[in-house]
């Protein structure tokens, strides 16, 4: 191995060691238990001691400590951008107070990882050339935008699950309200009954129950419920409940109307997908089935014609 191959590898190792030292310097220095307790009390956070929560590993704990420093360069410059990011994370199911910081730290870590990995590989294979530099920059850009793409896919999947499970939750909510339960108790009952079959909508209803127990205004809770899910039907449901609470109309009747509307919409969506099946089947028919049928039907006649031509 010549010097031209050794120099890029040595530079890459030196950069990796330097970055590791910086991260270690950011994550260390708070090993004292007293300092950790003072930080927890200052931030108003308490550690959960329940048996259901899993203990954090050393890597995740170190990443959480380094998250503010990693995400500092990517922090939104305005409150509007910050609120948009918070809503996008909530649509994907991440509604914790530090979700923004952790997500931005993941983006920075992903970009840095792709930068160093691609840098080492391209320098070892291509050397310090312009093409290698462009490859490294492109890999860093992919690492930067990959968490956002994954977040969008998670939000889309979660919205679809909420849309499909919402009519069942509304039916059970109607039954509970008509049986004499209040809206808060009915939502609590729905979360208990549908926790296994519809965990996404139950998670949001449970979050609403906790906010109501803390004394928040019901209108604000319902409005946040619609924004958090990001589903248009849930927003319409929240608007109907807010209107019913404002004017004192029957909540059960409003829920029943919304439930019927959701069921009709879901059946129409199923019919639309069934009608589009014939069009979607054209491509596999042409590519895979028709060639086989053509060979079976035309093949013997072609063989007979070839034999006759050879004999003559």
The predicted model scores a pTM of: 0.66
Contacts of 208 (CB under 8 A, 6+ apart): 187, 221, 222, 224, 225
pLDDT at position 33: 56
Q: For residue 141, how far is the Cα from the chain centroid?
A: 20
* Residue 198 exposed, middle or buried by CB count within 10 Å (0-12, 13-18, 19+): buried
Spans of all domains in the chain: 160-266
Q: How far apart are CA 108 and CA 285, in angstroms?
A: 46
| DSSP structural state of residue 50 | -
In 79-227, DSSP assigns E strands to: none
Q: How far apart are CA 220 and CA 242, in angstroms?
A: 9
CA dihedral 76, 77, 81, 87 (to 10 degrees): 40
Provide the residue count of the chain.
312
Q: Which structure tokens are listed for 86? A: 């918070």
Work out the number of other CB atoms within 10 angstroms of the CB of residue 155. 20
pLDDT at position 25: 54
Q: What string of pLDDT tens digits covers the 312 residues of the chain?
A: 555 555 566 556 666 666 666 565 555 544 455 566 566 655 554 444 444 444 445 556 665 666 666 666 677 777 788 788 888 888 888 888 788 888 888 888 888 888 888 777 777 777 777 777 788 778 888 888 888 889 889 988 988 888 888 888 888 888 888 888 888 888 888 888 888 888 888 888 888 888 888 888 888 888 888 888 888 888 888 888 888 878 777 788 888 888 888 888 888 888 888 888 888 888 888 888 888 888 888 888 888 888 888 876
């Amino acid at each position: 191995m010549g010097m031209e191959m050794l120099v890029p590898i040595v530079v890459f190792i030196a950069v990796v060691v330097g970055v590791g030292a910086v991260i270690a310097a950011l994550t260390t220095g708070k090993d004292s238990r007293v300092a950790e307790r003072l930080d927890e009390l200052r931030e108003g956070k308490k550690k959960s001691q329940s048996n259901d929560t899993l203990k954090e590993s050393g890597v995740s704990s170190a990443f959480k400590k380094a998250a503010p420093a990693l995400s500092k360069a990517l922090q939104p410059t305005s409150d509007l951008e910050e609120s948009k990011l918070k809503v996008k994370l909530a649509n994907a199911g991440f509604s914790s107070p530090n979700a923004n910081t952790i997500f931005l730290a993941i983006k920075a870590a992903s970009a840095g990882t792709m930068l160093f990995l691609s840098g080492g590989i391209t320098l070892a294979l291509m050397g310090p050339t312009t093409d290698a530099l462009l490859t490294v920059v492109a890999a860093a850009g992919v690492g930067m935008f990959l968490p956002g793409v994954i977040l969008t896919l998670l939000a889309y999947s979660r919205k679809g699950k909420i849309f499909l499970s919402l009519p069942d939750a509304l039916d059970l909510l109607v039954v509970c309200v008509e049986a004499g339960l209040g809206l808060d108790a009915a939502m609590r009952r729905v979360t208990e009954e549908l926790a296994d079959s519809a965990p996404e909508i139950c998670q949001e209803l449970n979050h609403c129950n906790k906010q109501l127990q803390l004394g928040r205004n019901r209108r604000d809770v319902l409005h946040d419920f619609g924004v958090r899910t990001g589903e248009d039907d849930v927003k319409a449901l929240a608007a109907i409940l807010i209107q019913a609470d404002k004017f004192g109309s029957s909540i059960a009747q409003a829920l029943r109307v919304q439930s019927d509307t959701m069921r009709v919409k879901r059946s129409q969506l199923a019919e639309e997908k069934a009608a589009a099946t014939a069009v979607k089947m054209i491509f596999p028919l042409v590519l895979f089935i028709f060639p086989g049928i053509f060979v079976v039907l035309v093949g013997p006649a072609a063989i007979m014609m070839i034999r006759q031509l050879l004999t003559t």
